[in-house]
């Protein structure tokens, strides 16, 4: 979950890492980390983690689910009845 903590609090640091660093640290899963980073950029500078869960399977990779809420002024709010 270190990457998910960094994606919430230090996205600029992650964006500054090179592809070589991602490939060395994550191997083929680096592509998925790029996708997380792109989505994080779309949320804007201020976010809040609403929910997270991680499932450690018997294989080499874990499955994580994280829900973030954008706290920026230009965020589109859900319609109220």
pLDDT in tens, 31-77: 999 999 999 999 989 999 999 988 887 777 778 889 999 998 765 65
The verdict on pTM exceeding 0.85 is no
Segment 41-45 long-range contacts (CB within 8 Å, at least 24 positions apart): 41/11, 41/15, 43/68, 43/70, 43/72, 44/70, 44/71, 44/72, 44/74, 44/75, 45/72
pLDDT on residue 56: 80
């Amino acid at each position: 979950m270190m990457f998910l903590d960094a994606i919430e609090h230090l996205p600029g640091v992650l964006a500054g890492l090179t592809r070589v660093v991602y490939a060395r640290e994550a191997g083929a899963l680096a592509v998925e980390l790029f996708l997380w980073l792109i989505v994080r950029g779309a949320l804007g500078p201020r976010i809040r983690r609403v929910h997270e869960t991680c499932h450690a399977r018997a294989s080499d990779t874990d499955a994580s689910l994280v829900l973030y809420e954008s706290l920026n002024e230009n965020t589109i709010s859900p319609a109220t009845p």
